[in-house]
Structure 1
């Protein structure tokens, strides 16, 4: 990144899902709703995933060589393609989605919304809920049996029972080559569809991300000031670097944390901790049972003892963490790669770069496939008679970058919502800034694309996403169903995390870890392992 780059001429920033929030928001922390009948059996999903058919669109300046990682554009395509030639609807479509943005201009005075409805062939009735209220609204809709045609959701306590009860089974419509009836849906990366399988059926539609969320960022400016000219090559070097970077007299520390020790995830990656579970020749080992996990706890405990973290940051939230890092208080921060644009464009005195985790001496670090989707949506079973039309509408909203529909959904009507700059790129007007906060991108999304007029940003993002995806590991149990996990997995894992955090903070000793793991096993960990292994 040059020291004097222009950061204002953006073509849309992180696009493909719009300017959406990071993973882990309340919007996606679905809830304890739905039928309370516990799963009675373990199960594996073997359903055939949708066939991937790439969109034959514009050539990116920075193409992706990996299935889930985004491609990058520094120029907006001059010629876009209309991918949905005929309106798919004959009657209104209702949906409930969340938003992190101000509410948009209403339908009656919103030219973009009117044009979308014209392209769809019918009215689009969106219930738009602020993120902070979404969980309550979602629970209320479930309890009152007032679900719209399409609903945004992520996790459910008892997914098999819930989706079989309230959602349309989309398998016959989307599995294998059947999805080719909906070309924009077929252009969604295959990896994203794995998050849509429940009880061996396709119940959901994805809002794709980029594969791995990475391992956060570092401020190269602070490393330069500390005389660190090369990045650490292993965890020993990394600790030495944090010591050099911690200068309380100057208001700088090695890293910034948040409540729950979120920076521990970065350390876990550096020590090669598996993502959830490790399949060791048919034997499952939970991440928290591994020697690597214990080593990561000891390592982070040392970091805290040496006072290398921003004081008090283990009790702050994500917003405070982000603001402190932008202000130059810390050299390293844990955050998702989708947040890079915010750091890049709002740190004029710093040079933020994605961090690629190193490993312990003689070992390699890993990352996780933890950012495959932002979330998912499902279609109400009561709307099944209209399923082909509804999927046709969702095919419209999945229109990829380079299509007419994508430009409409992100930039609205030319002359009203946007104008074109000298390079031919759309730039939102004041009206467009109000009109285009409609969260269409939370209905379904195309594969992620990065578009920005600054080639430094695009190249750094694409290179980083490629790097972290190449070293990413999957959770082998992600698409398996464990009754014990559904019933008590969250509680017993939280209890164990509390012990870990107490050790890191110095309230407990490392000798307390093994007994805590044994308790986790007895309380349900071993049962989960047996259930998962029975269907591997």
Structure 2
């Protein structure tokens, strides 16, 4: 699992598009594993009719008006609304304390230093406003999912647990979800109206929290344009080299590589562009209908072969940083910041004031930009649209009805929209203690930097917005403009957010193919080697997996 780049506190957008994006890029939905005898049952999967009955009704909030409104594009994708400053008079969206004195144990991931649990001004302020005691227990995000199976096996689950989407398979969540509260009677349809901030989360964001036709998960960091990631470039470096960022084909990208590379000076055009190089070649879904209607895996498409061939072409030309070719992805951020590479790839969460602060520390002219969505071959530009949310929290089924309702009232408080009083408290702590207002935006104090950590937000949080961090207003404007264009080209993959449960015996059959892909795109192996690996994959279970998904399509549809 890729670790988050932040050293201390995780930013809102990076949560959504950092490790989750790396784990979910090109995945068709939340996948879990089931036993060998479950080849046709696919526990976890939900068809369209059952999904409609389980989802909460979307009732958008009008309490706050963004500076840059959302733009709706293809397939219902929409850009995040953007705010250039926090409202001078924040709206109050919850009239009274939601809690009734309950005590809830929690477990959430955290990338960075774990804050103190006692004497924590942030925890104290939020718990006081909630009227309940939330025992916050953030754990190392890099190993977080690995620690969860033992809790399930021992029956020691906390009252409220965060499970990121990439943990679904390890936990066999299609079956294990029975250990959590079925929230369908509380939140489905009009039932959600008693929790206005939860109702403000679009219905599509709840979809991947539905298992076996029932709603279990409460979403965090939802967005109608949950793009896994794309290609980035250093605007300042391209301008200095006289290179246009207006990439419209693979040839344009190759030409930029030639102009930007100077190995003798320690500068290369590209870092590792995989897997996001697949999107320009039209590979936006794991499974696709072939000409005869039968399903075709992305391994079997011309697009992935063309993308690998182009990556190998860049490598052989000497335009890719040697460390990237060697698989050293851990220093990719630093290579980009320092200007050793001018074009890279990754989660869109990097369009963030924290990134810009880190980049300008190395170069005052630093400017990260996203390449506009393009087609490598001159076809229709496409970018994969991920599920509306990839982070879900679950309530322990041992909770009483009273505790469940108290927890949902707390979740409603935590999910308050950006611009509200509640959001300010949940994300920045107490005024003049944990944060102050600087330049129209909240900034953590020294105390806040020590105590405030992304924790409550993993239990519930409202829809994503673009916001100013560290005073970098232009970053927000640039990202909003890119999103407004990208949503025009968004494509939903097959089995979109359906929580399809793959039989466990297929979990590792693709590893040889993935290893071969690395060798082909670095120039160490040939396309013939790749085709041989795919042939082996088919014999080892790929063709059986195809039949499995054909069965899912026949029984449940494709989620489109």
How high is the TM-score relative to the length of structure 2?
0.85
Q: Could you say if the C-alpha distance between residues 277 and 27 of structure 1 is closer, same or farther in structure 2, counting changes exceeding 3 Å?
A: closer
For residues 200-219 of structure 1, what are the alpha-carbon distances to aligned partners after superposition, in whole Å with 9 as ceiling and x for unaligned? 22121112244113313101
- Is 1:161 the counterpart of 2:158 in the alignment? no
Residue of 178, 182, 193 corresponding to 2:206: 193
- Is 1:129 the counterpart of 2:131 in the alignment? no
1:83-162 matched pairs, under 5 angstroms:
83-90=93-100, 91-107=102-118, 109-154=119-164, 155-157=167-169, 158-162=172-176
For residues 511-530 of structure 1, what are the alpha-carbon distances to aligned partners after superposition, in whole Å with 9 as ceiling and x for unaligned? 12223223222322222322
Measured after TM superposition, the shift of residue 406 of structure 1 is 0.5
Instruction: Say whether the 8 Å CA contact 1:235–1:358 is kept in structure 2.
Output: no
Measured after TM superposition, the shift of residue 482 of structure 1 is 5.3
Aligned to 1:397: 414
For residues 468-506 of structure 1, what are the alpha-carbon distances to aligned partners after superposition, in whole Å with 9 as ceiling and x for unaligned? 3332222212444655x3413431222211122222233
Q: Could you say if the C-alpha distance between residues 20 and 395 of structure 1 is closer, same or farther in structure 2, counting changes exceeding 3 Å?
A: farther
Gaps of 5+ in 1: 1-11, 258-262
| Number of residue pairs the alignment of both structures matches | 515
Residue of 468, 475, 480 corresponding to 1:462: 480
Find the residue that maps to 1:419 and give its secondary structure: strand
C-alpha separation in 2, matches of 1:36 and 1:389: 36
C-alpha separation in 2, matches of 1:403 and 1:332: 37
Residue of 245, 267, 284 corresponding to 1:252: 267
Q: Could you say if the C-alpha distance between residues 384 and 239 of structure 1 is closer, same or farther in structure 2, counting changes exceeding 3 Å?
A: farther
- Is 1:472 the counterpart of 2:490 in the alignment? yes
For residues 5-55 of structure 1, what are the alpha-carbon distances to aligned partners after superposition, in whole Å with 9 as ceiling and x for unaligned? xxxxxxx995478799542579999x9999868534144433122211112
Instruction: Say whether the 8 Å CA contact 1:212–1:465 is kept in structure 2.
Output: no
Aligned to 1:6: none
Measured after TM superposition, the shift of residue 316 of structure 1 is 4.3
1:411-426 matched pairs, under 5 angstroms:
411-421=428-438, 423-426=439-442
1:184-333 matched pairs, under 5 angstroms:
184-210=197-223, 211-229=226-244, 231-257=246-272, 263-279=273-289, 283-333=294-344
C-alpha separation in 1, matches of 2:15 and 2:429: 13
Instruction: Say whether the 8 Å CA contact 1:44–1:479 is kept in structure 2.
Output: no
Aligned to 1:377: 393
For residues 180-200 of structure 1, what are the alpha-carbon distances to aligned partners after superposition, in whole Å with 9 as ceiling and x for unaligned? 121111111333212212222
C-alpha separation in 1, matches of 2:465 and 2:10: 9
Aligned to 1:3: none
Aligned to 1:361: 377
Q: Could you say if the C-alpha distance between residues 306 and 438 of structure 1 is closer, same or farther in structure 2, counting changes exceeding 3 Å?
A: closer
Q: Could you say if the C-alpha distance between residues 176 and 160 of structure 1 is closer, same or farther in structure 2, counting changes exceeding 3 Å?
A: same
Measured after TM superposition, the shift of residue 147 of structure 1 is 0.5
Aligned to 2:528: 511
Q: Could you say if the C-alpha distance between residues 230 and 464 of structure 1 is closer, same or farther in structure 2, counting changes exceeding 3 Å?
A: closer
Find the residue that maps to 1:180 and give its secondary structure: helix
Find the residue that maps to 2:508 and give its secondary structure: helix
Q: Could you say if the C-alpha distance between residues 410 and 434 of structure 1 is closer, same or farther in structure 2, counting changes exceeding 3 Å?
A: same
C-alpha separation in 2, matches of 1:482 and 1:16: 26
How high is the TM-score relative to the length of structure 1?
0.88
Aligned to 1:170: 183
1:3-152 matched pairs, under 5 angstroms:
15=12, 22-23=19-20, 39-40=38-39, 41-42=41-42, 43-46=45-48, 47-48=51-52, 49-66=55-72, 68-90=78-100, 91-107=102-118, 109-152=119-162
Q: Could you say if the C-alpha distance between residues 32 and 495 of structure 1 is closer, same or farther in structure 2, counting changes exceeding 3 Å?
A: same
User: Alpha carbon RMSD of aligned pairs, Å?
Assistant: 2.9
Instruction: Say whether the 8 Å CA contact 1:68–1:372 is kept in structure 2.
Output: no
Instruction: Say whether the 8 Å CA contact 2:315–2:325 is kept in structure 1.
Output: no
Instruction: Say whether the 8 Å CA contact 2:219–2:461 is kept in structure 1.
Output: yes
Find the residue that maps to 1:334 and give its secondary structure: strand
Measured after TM superposition, the shift of residue 358 of structure 1 is 2.0
Gaps of 5+ in 2: 1-8
